[in-house]
Amino acid sequence: MHTLVIDTSFGSTVGVVGHDPVVEHDSRTHVEKLRDDIDAACRQAGVAPHAVERIVVGVGPAPFTGLRAGIVTAKAIAYATGTTLLGQDDLTPNAVLMHAVHRHDPRFADRFDYADVSLVTDGSPLAALTLSVNDARRRQLYFGLYADLGADAGNPTTLIDMDIDAPDHIARRVGEAVDAYRAAHPGVDVVIDVIGHGARKYASAWEGLEHVETVSDAAALDMGAEGLSLFASAAQAHAPADEGAGAVEPLYLRRPDVSVPNPLKHVLSHDPAHTPGEATA
């Protein structure tokens, strides 16, 4: 099955599973280049657009404009071709990636220094936690906290649901969640990997967190063809049945900047619903 992945949560990543993606890092121009990048990705894979059988689109969380462009484009292609459309959040695949890294998955051997994410302990049971982030700008991060205790690699356990907050506040909330986790699982050691766009930008926020093993700006979709496959597999694991393009909605998490304006101030001492001199009941 030919699967096209489209994600515009941070720049843009477009590709056909099994092939290297086309990546745009400049968030100021990636929307304008999206159509050409999709065409280039299909030509590179030797797949005609009408031969794509599934589209996986990133639904964020991410800022409004870029994210919306990717989702609308994916929906338009799905509506026009009848292709299956699946949405995938951009935080969970990072936890799936770290699940693979901790198990020395050869697909990512040249992407991470395994010495930095070693799960060697004194023999105690160990929980690998992933703090997955994405840059929300305005000195904030989108984030989620996930646990991996050897469960299904496509469905890590969620300890903190996706949210948006300042890095220092995130560190405090993660510390509280880890304390609660350890209290509920006595004797279990914990390591934390902070991964995603913005992780190193706010590295000082994680200095007060105990058990941090790795801080990396890499995200699942930065892993080339292997990351593209991982992202698509996560979408399939979370949404095995096609729910239709209308079911795919963006995750913004931040309230919009625009709002309905207040009513106009009455400066003429009359009800603006009536014209001057008009009789009222």
Residue 250 falls inside a structural domain: no
106 plus 15 within the same structural domain: no
181 and 143 together in one domain: yes
Q: Looking at the structure, do residues 28 and 144 belong to the same domain, yes or no?
A: no
Written as tens digits, the pLDDT of the chain (281 aa) is 899 999 999 999 999 999 999 999 876 777 789 999 999 999 999 999 889 999 999 999 998 888 999 999 999 999 999 999 999 999 999 999 998 888 888 898 777 765 444 554 455 678 889 999 999 999 999 999 999 755 455 678 899 999 999 999 999 999 999 999 999 989 888 999 999 999 999 999 999 998 898 999 999 999 999 999 999 999 988 765 445 555 799 999 876 655 566 776 666 655 555 555 555 54
Residue of 86, 204, 211 whose CA lies nearest to 154: 86
pLDDT in tens, 205-232: 999 998 898 999 999 999 999 999 999 9
Q: Rounded distance, CA 281 to CA 245, Å? A: 51
Q: Which domain holds residue 134?
A: 91-218
| 166 and 124 both lie in a single domain | yes
122 and 210 housed in the same domain = yes
**Residue 184: CATH number of its domain:** 3.30.420.40
Domains: count for the chain: 2
In a domain, 243, yes or no: no
Number of C-beta neighbours around residue 40 at 10 A: 14
Q: Is 65 exposed, middle or buried (0-12, 13-18, 19+ CB in 10 A)?
A: exposed
121 with 20, same domain: the answer is no
